[in-house]
Amino acid sequence: MKVYHSGKRRAHQTAEIIANSLNVPIESSRGLNPLDDVREWAERVRKETKDLMIVGHLPFLEKLTSLLLCDNENARSVVFRYGAIVCLDRKENGGWAVRWILTPEMIQR
């Protein structure tokens, strides 16, 4: 598994926390900023054979998720909240499904 993040400070900090907890490498990547085109990352994710995590921003992550799930980046198939985590699974037919969603409200402090 690898954790990818945008070059923005908060995404890098979050990726470091996750990567340290899971003992996995992190990598700063282009194309993960809020208004970047999601198609490049959708293709990259579709070709990936290993688990990965993307730490990024809205609306990018919401659009990427919709493109993977519905083939329409504007479908808003998952309405993201700040600080949320969405896990997708690749189906046998190559499509995607939501496995689970974790929002900040779900975590007891």
Note down the domain range covering 54.
2-106
pTM of the entire predicted model: 0.93
Three-state DSSP class for residue 21: helix
Residue 81: pLDDT band (50, 70, 90) is confident
Please tell me the distance from the alpha carbon of residue 66 to that of residue 72, in angstroms, as a whole number. Answer: 6
According to DSSP, the β-strands at 96-102 and 85-90 are: antiparallel
Output the domain CATH number for residue 86: 3.40.50.1240
pLDDT at 68 over 80: yes
- Number of domains present in the structure of the chain: 1
25, amino acid identity? P
How confident is the model over 3-53, as pLDDT tens digits? 999 999 999 999 999 999 999 999 999 999 999 999 999 999 999 999 999
Q: Report how far residue 108's alpha carbon sits from residue 16's, in angstroms, rounded to the nearest whole number.
A: 22
Contacts of range 17-22, beta carbons closer than 8 Å, 24 or more positions apart? 18/53, 18/55
